[in-house]
Amino acid sequence: MRPLLWKEMRDLRAWLLAGVALTGGLEILLLTQVFAGSFVSTWMEVLMPLTAAATAIGLGVGQVAGERHSRTLDFLRVRPVSPGVVVWSKFLAGSVVLAALLTGIVALSFADPNFMQDTGLRAIREQVSFAGLLAALLPRFWFLYALTLLFSVMVDRSLKAAALAAVVVITGVSTALAFADLAPFSGFVYWLPFFDGTGGLVEAAKNAWLSGMAGAVFSLGALLVTAGSAALLKRSPERYMGNLSLTVTAGAVIAAAVASANAAAHRFPELTPVGSWKLQPTGEWGSSNIVAEGSLVAVSHDHLVQFLDFTQPSRPRQIAEVTVPLWTSSSDWNADRVAMQDGAVFLVGHKKQLPADVFQIAIVKPGGLQDSIDLGSERPGDYVSAPVIHGAFLYIGVTRDRVCSLLTFDVPSRRQLDSVTIDRMRAPMPGIEEGSPPVRMLRRGAYLYISSPSYLTTIDLVNPQHPVVASQLPVRPKVSFLYGFPRPIAMQDKRLFEIRIFPESLTAYDLSDPAHPFTEAERTYHDGNGLVIGGDGRNLYRPWRDGLLEFHAQGNDLYGLRYLRGRASVSQLAFAGDSVYTLTAPAEHDQRWVQAYRLIQK
């Protein structure tokens, strides 16, 4: 084996030199700050897996196919050495070079002196060590390399082996992703060799057991595949796949992936809308939201509220369109916080006013603007949540000077009755733009649940004028910053669900004792359409493909129930009785739709 190892290492020397030149050159450019700070983030999340995959494939493709094509394989075949030894020597040399190159490729993700300023990169780096990431990635790309070596044994051209490897990788990953969003395939995300929205790789890299288990399986797979390669070459020196069989195989793999994706898309029973309303394009939609009460639906965008009547869902009609005067256009802030009660919409927005704009809650009915509640002048970093209405009282979460408070208002008099401090956040990380720390609220019965950066707070509304804190559950942050991200919350049965980042995860709280929730489970969460989750109390809903996915949380996993197919991807949703109304994201020609679904068929 020794002479073969020497030859293989010499053969792969160009790869080593290219790897050192690439990673070393990029590192020099980083240190001299030629690249902007976001380069390393792009490298870690996009270029690193691509480069690693290209390296694994590039190392393996020519090792046998290239020698077969150039006929140097014959030189080895007529020497007293087993073809198995030839394959294992190639595998060993390739593995050493792969490990060396991957070390450089991964190291580059940890080599930016300015990484602290990049929140996405920092979020990963605070959780994942260089050694942890390398240990997680190496077996994955080792397996890919072994697979490519197998393809190299099966064909007579490096290019053919590369094409086959590329087809298998792309189809394999896309198939895994198509199924990975729900049980029983949700564990797929831990096996991916790149950072996707689920944070599966982050979890795998920081969890020794997960990393070890995945690493052992991938490593065993690499060894078994190589044993297969050795057996194939030993059995016959000839190629196994001609052009026709190669094309057929690649076609079959692609067809299987397409069939899998199709099966993934149609694995749930479908529910179609009972009615739709086409919104006229406005030129710029700004931030928008939808609320519903019975068959009355209100869509807000910017300083405009449209009231729609879905009494006859197949023939909805617009009742009114109300503009809130003096409100700023919302291109620079979010006017998506809205609630509805007794036909009135409570919309949070900005009112132009000197010397400074003020936060305001506009109370809008189909007949026009009814009233407004001033929340004080706006300062940078302030956040105002969507309001929660309970009888004659309105509750709103406000973050100001990094203190989250619950404000109570008497709606008829528009007076503020109370203010309860629920979260005093620590000082922001220097150099990190955390945005406005959000507050999310959800009421069930006499309890109001508030998700703030540091706590899940339960508010007792027995005395609605003066709510009191019933309990607080500290949130253990995964990273030391990133307060500025929304955390949608939803309810299913006696469980409260909250999305957190980073990585995205869905935490379930048990509400058996509604005053004292406790953390029940946490799982990675993948929502390609954005971090939106809602619930009607029985099930959970989230945007999925061109519509909504109805799913049910059970244990530590999510099970899909129905696909609520629509016209376009959903940006917001609202529940009213047995109906759910969706507001689609702007699609072709800036077109948006409101769509109504009946969740319980009569």
What residues line the site for another protein (CB under 8 A)? 2-3, 6-7, 10, 70-72, 74-75, 77-82, 236-238
Under 8 Å CB-to-CB from 486, ≥6 apart: which residues?
Answer: 438, 440, 531
CA 454 to chain centre: 22
Are the C-beta atoms of residues 77 and 237 closer than 8 Å to each other? yes
User: Cα separation of 404 and 398, whole Å?
Assistant: 6
Residue (134 or 154) nearer to another protein, CB: 154
Residue (6 or 518) nearer to another protein, CB: 6
Residue (239 or 301) nearer to another protein, CB: 239
Residue (248 or 263) nearer to another protein, CB: 248
Residue (233 or 299) nearer to another protein, CB: 233
Residue (80 or 283) nearer to another protein, CB: 80
Q: Which residues of 1-12 are buried (b: 16+ CB within 10 A; e: fewer)?
A: eeebeeebbebb
Residue (77 or 538) nearer to another protein, CB: 77
Tokens of 286: 């700004």
CB neighbour class for 474 (10 Å; exposed up to 12, middle 13-18, buried from 19): exposed
In the complex, the smallest distance separating the C-beta of residue 136 from another protein, rounded to whole angstroms, is: 36
In the complex, the smallest distance separating the C-beta of residue 83 from another protein, rounded to whole angstroms, is: 8
From the list 211, 42, 46, the residue with the least C-alpha distance to 140 is: 211
CB neighbour class for 33 (10 Å; exposed up to 12, middle 13-18, buried from 19): exposed
User: Cα separation of 388 and 391, whole Å?
Assistant: 10
Backbone angles phi, psi at 53, to 5 degrees: -65, -40
In the complex, the smallest distance separating the C-beta of residue 228 from another protein, rounded to whole angstroms, is: 18
| Cis, peptide link before residue 503, omega less than 30° from 0 | yes
Are the C-beta atoms of residues 411 and 396 closer than 8 Å to each other? no
Are the C-beta atoms of residues 19 and 101 closer than 8 Å to each other? yes
In the complex, the smallest distance separating the C-beta of residue 12 from another protein, rounded to whole angstroms, is: 12
Residue (88 or 551) nearer to another protein, CB: 88
Residue (238 or 401) nearer to another protein, CB: 238
CB neighbour class for 17 (10 Å; exposed up to 12, middle 13-18, buried from 19): exposed
Neighbouring-strand partners of residue 572: 583
Residue (233 or 548) nearer to another protein, CB: 233
DSSP assignment string, 458-526: EEE-SSTTS-EEEEEEE---SSS----S---EEEETTEEEEEETTTTEEEEEE-SSTTS-EEEEEEE--
In the complex, the smallest distance separating the C-beta of residue 92 from another protein, rounded to whole angstroms, is: 16
In the complex, the smallest distance separating the C-beta of residue 64 from another protein, rounded to whole angstroms, is: 14
In sign, the C-alpha dihedral spanning 463, 464, 467, 470 is positive
